[in-house]
Amino acid sequence: MTKQQAKPNILVVNDDGITAPGIKNLIEVVRELGNVVVVAPDGPQSGMGHAITIGKPLRFDKVDLYEGVEMYKCSGTPVDCVKLAVNKIFKGKKPDLCVSGINHGLNNSINVIYSGTMSAAVEGAIEGIPSIGFSLDDFSETADFSHSKKFIKVICEEVLANGLPQATLLNVNFPKGADLKGIKVCRQANAKWAEEFDERKDPYNRPYYWLTGVFQNNDKGEDTDVWALEHGFVSVVPVQFDLTAHHAIPVLNSWTFDVK
């Protein structure tokens, strides 16, 4: 086999844990496209954002869950998984693609900030690896991922063939159900969570709290990920990790900053 014919190396990560149904379905898709290495948390790590582990050691053990797939479980966060994979498995020779998910639950709109799934993909992009995060609008452990598979394959094939713009990754979300109308490239909707805390009492009559809330969409645009998902489309949002508010720089430069 010539170098040009060599199969791409694909890193698979997630935040729901190495035994989650979502990652199993993602592995089934991408193993058709290349050589797969899986590094995933040893348990659920949802909502971890871009957290990394410092101040305590990480455990990193090989496991044998799916025949023909090199797999490791990690005691750390989704971002830790990517860092360890690049450093200890690929030893600096970057994989050709990093895919994260399939997450149980959407990571559209502002959810991208909190998502461990997307943060793993962001870390891949920071490392210069073309990266994609995949999420499905279904929290159930019996969620049906089958309808998303053909879309995942096509999106991965396009990224492998064309690459991605510098410092950019893809946030891909699937609506629940079989009737998917196609793919829409979107912008992130302007939406947020209106949080509440459900207060309860422990046996010692001390208060504790469960985070709850309602998702509020303040964006009526028909070019957003929220609109696409509500209308049965797969949403694809290009994401960047440069958080600079470039439009605000001229405003700040107009200030005096007269330090005396």
The answer to whether residue 68 sits within a structural domain is: yes
CATH number at residue 229: 3.40.1210.10
pLDDT for res 2: 43
CA distance 145 to 75: 26
User: What's the pTM?
Assistant: 0.91
Please confirm whether the linkage preceding 249 is cis (ω < 30° from 0): no
Amino acid at residue number 72: Y
pLDDT for res 174: 97
Bigger pLDDT: 47 or 19? 19
DSSP secondary structure, 91-127, as one string:
TT---SEEEEEEEES---TTHHHH-HHHHHHHHHHHT
Per-residue pLDDT at 119 exceeds 60: yes
The answer to whether residue 210 sits within a structural domain is: no
CB distance 225 to 235 below 8 Å: yes
pLDDT for res 151: 98
Average pLDDT, the chain: 92
pLDDT for res 47: 77
Per-residue pLDDT at 163 exceeds 60: yes
Sequence-ordered list of residues with C-beta below 8 angstroms from that of 111, at least 6 positions apart, any chain: none
The answer to whether residue 212 sits within a structural domain is: no
pLDDT for res 120: 96
The answer to whether residue 257 sits within a structural domain is: no
Per-residue pLDDT at 92 exceeds 80: no
Cα 128 to the chain's mean position, in Å?
A: 16
Per-residue pLDDT at 178 exceeds 50: yes
Per-residue pLDDT at 3 exceeds 60: no
Can you read off the two tokens belonging to residue 206?
Answer: 């001390």
Bigger pLDDT: 46 or 145? 145
The answer to whether residue 175 sits within a structural domain is: yes
CA distance 90 to 220: 44
**Reported confidence tier of residue 68, pLDDT bands at 50, 70, 90:** confident
In percent, the amount of the chain with pLDDT more than 90 equals 75
**Reported confidence tier of residue 75, pLDDT bands at 50, 70, 90:** very high
Burial of 95 (0-12, 13-18, 19+ CB in 10 A): buried
The answer to whether residue 134 sits within a structural domain is: yes
**Reported confidence tier of residue 51, pLDDT bands at 50, 70, 90:** confident
**Reported confidence tier of residue 5, pLDDT bands at 50, 70, 90:** low
Quick one: which of 136, 150, 139, 143 has its CA closest to 182? Answer: 150
The answer to whether residue 260 sits within a structural domain is: no
Residue-range definition of the domain harbouring residue 148? 3-189+220-242
Supply φ then ψ for residue 166, to 5 degrees. Answer: -55, 140
Number of structural domains (the chain) is: 1
In percent, the amount of the chain with pLDDT more than 70 equals 98
User: Per residue in 145-157, pLDDT tens?
Assistant: 999 999 999 999 9
The answer to whether residue 195 sits within a structural domain is: no
What average pLDDT does the segment 241-251 reach?
95
